[in-house]
Structure 1
Amino acid sequence: MLHLIVILVIFAIFFVPARIIRVEDEKAISFQQERLPQMTREQIYHARVFYKKTIYAQHLLLRILRIISLIFLIITAILFVGALSIQFGLLFNLVPVGMTRLWTLSQSDGSRNLLLILASIVGSFGVMTWWYQYSRLLALIEDDSHRPEDLLWTSPTILQRQKECYLFMLVMFLMVVYGFTFLAVTNGIPSSVTPYYLPKIFF
């Protein structure tokens, strides 16, 4: 039950700001549709997406930084999930007992802590890189569209609110990873448990 609560809390932390970002996008599209009634919402949406892709295509460094940041964040998530799997004993049934070394690592606090430390390091680089490229993207968008009549113009209020939501998600992402890492290395959380303490329905 504990691992389900942890997963639900983490999901809620990121779902709410992600939903706000989506709602703000819808507001920007509605604003443009009022001025361009001949265009559908879908056309406006795809035009805005294509414009952002064009910016990345025109700025090689920005595109590379975005790819690198996403790779770092994905690796961080994988490492973090791996650490949680060890903590809650979810890897036991996936590793054959005959593979003694690997089976031992799957229940090792040291393995869990190593994954969390790596997740903290990689996650830090990923967050900083993603935030830098996103800030540069916003600056380029603001330089290209100055008037409300522009299809790609977005209210500064909407941009600011979305920026705050992205910042919140990045900060919370690091806080979750750092928090678990700190608790793990300082023995603030129990040692890894075996699957026998978990509901069999998950296996």
Structure 2
Amino acid sequence: MAAASSPTSPSLVAPPQAHVTHLLYLHGFRSSPLSTKAQHVGRWLAQHRPDVHVWCPQLPPSPAEAMALVLNGIAHWPVANMAVVGSSLGGFYASVVHQRTGCRAVLLNPAVQPARDLARHIGEQHTWQDPTQAFFFQPGYIDELLALSPATLTAPERCAAVIAKGDEVLDWREMNAHCQGAQVLLLEGSDHALSDFDQPFSFLLDFLQLQPCD
């Protein structure tokens, strides 16, 4: 879709019952729109809810550039009818989008302190889906993450989170504390990638009230 000319985001806070017509999916660190979860969401919507506009952009390594890209892209979306889903670092970005717009958000094993956690990943990185694709995670990106960091979820009742106790990358207790007040699906096992995505996906659909129209 064509991006808007400025990163100004809408200010309307949507009522919980508004139906979703626009869905933003934000992938995680070293990931891409080819991630398993992003593809699963896209395929299901294409088959069962083709009326929903889905956008899963390839996010640049720079957090500031990533957020500018996202906010430009959704600037003219109807916030009353949009939602954002984010995984890991994308969950952090989704929290920022929620804070800026008031839209509904679903966070999948969200990064809560990405500036702290990604400080040890400065240097050349490769994407999970295509190891031949390299990028350089610069030291200045840590400051960009700190500048973006939302202290809390602005309207936690408009948020949902899937948190796996078996997450091998992020601390589930920290994620759970960050998502207080949100609807939380706490998985006893699973992993950071949410490899068994069936239950989390059903939870996502229920929260967003997305039912098949076929």
TM range (shorter): under 0.3
Structure number with greater CO (CA < 8 Å, separation at least 6) is: 1
Q: Provide TM-score, normalisation by structure 2.
A: 0.24
More strand by share: 2
- The higher radius of gyration belongs to 1
Q: Provide TM-score, normalisation by structure 1.
A: 0.25
